[in-house]
Structure 1
Amino acid sequence: MQTSVCVDARSLEYFPVQLFAIIMGLSGFAIVFAKAYHILDFSYWFYAFILFIDTLLFLVIFTSYMLKIASYPEAVKGEINHPIKSSFMASISVSLLLLSIAYYDFAPTLSIVLWFIATPLQLFFTLVVMKYWIHNDLEVVHSNPAWFIPIVGNVLVPVVGVDAAPIFVSLFFFSLGMFFWIVLFTIMINRIIFHNPLAKKLIPTFFIFIAPPAVGFVSYLKITNGSIDMFSIFLYSIALFTLLLLLFMLRMYDVKMFFISWWAYTFPLAAITIATLLMHNIYHSTFTYIASLSLIAFLTLVVGYVALKTIQAFKAQKICISEE
C-alpha cells in the first residue's frame, strides 16, 4: 500500500513519525498569529489561513501514519523501540494538543473535543516512552533533546485543560512536565558537555531546549489566571536566555543538508514568541513590543524556509525512504 504524501508513491513502510513535527511547528505558528491578532491587532486571516493549512496537513499525515500502522506494524514497532524515534511517537498527541489550542478561538467545541482525545493519549505516550527508557539498556549517546517531546506535551495540557476539566488535571500534567524537564535537562547537559557531539541531523533539536520553560510559562499563566511572579519570570528568563545562547552559536547549524529534524526549529521558536506576546500583553512596554514583532518576523522566515526545503525534499524523493 502506498501514499500520495510521499512523492512518487514512496512506500508507507518508510513514512516517518517525525513528520508530525511539521504539525507541531505549524500549529505553534498559527497560535502565534492568534495571539498577535488579539494583542497586536494583526489580521485575523493570517491565523485562519495558517490553521487551515495546518489542519489539512494533519489529516494527510495522520491518515498516512494510520495506514502505515495497519500495513506495516513491524515498521511502527521498530520506531517505538528506537532510542531516538520513540520520543517522536508523542508528537502525535502533542500535535493534537496544539491543534486543540490553535482551535480554541476559532471553534472552542472542537478544541475541547481534541483536548479530551489528546490528553489521555499524551499520558499514554509518556508512560510508554518512560517505560522504554527504564527497561532498556540505553547509552548516554542515545539521549538527545528530542526526549523532551513527551515531557513538553504534558505542560501543554493546562492551556485548554484549565477550562475543560477540574484544575487538578492541569496541575497534575503541569507538575509532571516541569519535574521531568529538570531531570532530562540535567541528563542532556551531561551528555552534551562530556560525551560525543550530536549527529548532524540532530543538531536542530537543540532548539527544543527552549520549549519546556517557554511552554511552562504559558501554562503557568493560564493556571494562575495571568499571575506574574518570581516563578513565571524564572521560566520566561530561562527560555529567553536559551534562545540567545542558541543564536550565539549560529555557526553550529548547517543549512546545506536538509533533514526533517529542521522542523525542531519551529515549535520552540513559536513557544518563546507566544510567551513574549503574553509578556507584552502584561507590560505593554516598548521592549516587549519590539521583541514580539522581531520574534514573529524571525519565526515567519524560519517556518517559510523550512517549509520550502521540505517541499523540495519531497519533490527530490528524499523523504519516505529507507534510512539504512
Structure 2
Amino acid sequence: MSMGSLLKPKINATRLPRVPAAFFGIVLGVIGLGSSWRAASAIRAVPAGIGEALNLVGVAIWLVLVMLYAAKWIADRNAALAEAENSIQCCFIGLAGVATMLVSLALIPYSRVAAILIFAMGAIFTALFALWRTGVLWRGGRDPTTTTAVLFLPTVAGSFVTAIVAGALGYADWGQLAFGAGFFSWLAIESVLLNRLLTAPELAEPLRPTLGIQLAPPAVGSVAYLSVTDHMPDMLVHAMLGYAILQALLLLRMLPWIGKQPFAASYWAFTFGITALSTASLRMVARGDPGPVHMLAPILFVLGNIVVLTIAVGTVLLLARGKLLPAAAPAR
C-alpha cells in the first residue's frame, strides 16, 4: 500500500447513518408548523418567536439531512441508486427539492438574496426530478399494489410549494403557473389513487402511514392559492379547504387501521398536510373571510401543533433507542 493511499481520507460507508430521502418530510412538518405560527402571530396574540424558532430548527434539520443524504450518494452509491429505482421510495427524493424551497420560505425575513438563491436551487431540482419521474411513470407497466399517495410528491407537492414560495417572494404570476401545474396534476393523480385504494389489494401495513399524504394536496393547494392571489377568499379555496377537512376526518376514522404499523418516521407524512390546513385557515381569517373559518382556524391550529409535537416526540424516542434509522448494510 502506498503512502498516498494511507494519507487519503476514506469514507466508511458502513458507519454512515442510512438516511432515506423520506426523512426530508421532517423538514416539511417542522417548517410547516413554523409557517402556521407565523400566520397565527399575524392575527392573534401568540408569540412570534415560536414560529421563527420552528423555522430555524427546520433549516438546521435540512442542513443535516442534505449533508447525510449527499454523503450516501458518495459513499454508498448502490444504496442511493436502489432507493431511486424503487417504485415507492423513489418519489420521496422529490422531497429534497420541496424541503429546500421551504427553507427559502423560512429565510425570507432574514435574507431575501439567500432566499431567492435557495428557492432557485430547490425549484430547479424539483422540476427536473418531477419531469424525470413522471416520464418513467408514463411508460406504464407499474404494479398497482405499489401505487400510493407518494405519487403526489414530485409534481403536486413540488408545484404547490413552488407557488407558495414564488408568491411570498413577490412573483405571483409565476406562482400562478406553478399552481395550475399542481392543481391539475392533483386531480389526475387523485383519481388513480382512489381507484387503487378501492379495487386493488389493501395497503401493506408498512405503507399505510403514506395515506397521510392524501391530506396534503387540498391543504397545501389552499395555501398556494392564497399565496398567488390577493382577493377575498373565494369559492375555489373554500372548496379545497373543505375537501382537506374531509380528508382529515377520513384519516382520523382510519387511524386504528393505519396504526397497525408501529410508529416510525413514516408518520411524518401526516404533518405537512395538517399544518397547511391550519395555515390556510389562518390566512383566510387574515384576508377578511367572514365565514366559518373563524371558528375552524383555532381548532385546526391546535390540532396541527398536537400532531407535529406527538410525532416529533415519538421520533426523538426512536432516535434515542437507536431505532429511527434503517440498519446499516453488512460490511463486505
Match of 1:315 among 315, 320, 323: 320
Instruction: Return the TM-score normalized by structure 1.
Output: 0.90
Does the C-alpha gap of structure 1 residues 286 and 255 become closer, same or farther in structure 2, counting only changes over 3 Å? Answer: farther
SS at the partner of 1:67? Answer: helix
Q: Distance in 2 between matches of 1:255 and 1:289?
A: 35
One-letter amino acid of the counterpart of residue 24, structure 2? F
1:38 to 19, 35, 42: 42
Q: Which of these two proteins has the greater Rg computed from alpha carbons?
A: 2
Output the CA distance in 1 between the equivalents of 2:281 and 2:42. 14
Please state how far the C-alpha of 1:249 moved relative to its aligned partner.
3.0
For residues 30 and 323 of structure 1, do their structure 2 counterparts lie closer, same or farther at Cα, with a shift above 3 Å needed?
farther
Q: Which runs of 4+ in 1 moved over 6 A?
A: none
Match of 1:11 among 12, 16, 23: 16
1:96-115 correspondence to structure 2 within 5 Å: 96-115=100-119
Query: Which string of whole-angstrom CA distances, capped at 9 and with x for unpartnered residues, describes residues 40-95 of structure 1?
Result: 23111101221222121111111111111111112111111111111100000010
- Residue pair 1:11, 1:320 contacting (<8 A) in 2 also: no
User: Per-residue deviation at 1:268?
Assistant: 0.6
Contact 1:112 1:160 in 2 (8 A): no
Choose from 193, 210, 217 the match for 2:215: 210
Alignment of 1:50-129 (within 5 A): 50-129=54-133
**Contact 1:276–1:288 (Cα < 8 Å) also in 2:** yes
**CA offsets, 1:157-215, max 9 Å, x none?**
12221364755532332111111111110010001111111122222222212211122
Distance change (3 Å), C-alpha of 1:297 and 1:232: closer
- Do the aligned partners of 2:206 and 2:261 also contact (CA within 8 Å) in 1? no
Aligned to 2:183: 178
Aligned counterparts of 1:276 and 1:143: Cα–Cα separation in 2: 30
Where does 1:252-263 land on structure 2 (aligned, <5 Å)?
Answer: 252-254=257-259, 257-263=262-268
Residues 1:134 and 2:141 are matched in the alignment: no
What's the CA shift for 1:2?
5.6
**CA deviation after TM superposition for structure 1 residue 323, in Å:** 9.0
Aligned residues with identical type, % of pairs = 23
Please tell me the residue identity of whatever aligns with 2:164: V
Q: Structure 1 residues 256 and 177, CA, compared in 2 at 3 Å: closer, same or farther?
A: closer
Counterpart selection for 1:234 from 224, 234, 239: 239
Distance 1:166 1:107 in 2: 17
Measured at CA, do residues 256 and 82 of structure 1 come closer, stay the same or move farther in structure 2, by a change above 3 Å?
closer
Question: What's the Cα RMSD here?
Answer: 2.3
Match of 2:174 among 169, 174, 187: 169
Query: Greater CA deviation, 163-172 or 46-55?
Result: 163-172
- Structure 1 residue matching 2:322: 3-state secondary structure: coil
| Cα distance in 2 between the residues matched to 1:136 and 1:321 | 32
Shift of 1:116: 1.3
Q: Secondary structure of 1:18's match? A: helix
Say if 2:59 and 2:106, in contact at 8 Å, map to a contact too: no
Residue-by-residue CA offset, 1:265-320 (whole Å, 9 max, x unaligned)? 11110111111111222346594344222222222222122112112222222213
Asked whether the equivalents of residues 217 and 232 of structure 1 are also in contact (C-alpha less than 8 Å), the reply is: yes
Conservation of the 8 A alpha-carbon contact between 1:10 and 1:320: no
Q: How many residues align?
A: 318
Is 1:299 the counterpart of 2:289? The answer is no
Distance 1:133 1:272 in 2: 29
Which range moved further: 231-240 or 90-99?
231-240
1:97-155 CA-to-partner distances (Å, cap 9, x unmatched) read: 11222233344333222211111111011012112212362111111011111121111
Q: State the shift of 1:322 in Å.
A: 5.2
Unaligned residue ranges in structure 2 (runs of 5+):
1-10
Q: How does 1:14-29 map to 2 (within 5 A)?
A: 14-29=18-33
Structure 1: 5+ residue stretches without partners: 4-8
State how far apart, in whole Å, the 2-side matches of 1:119 and 1:51 are: 19
What is the SS of the residue equivalent to 1:249? Answer: helix
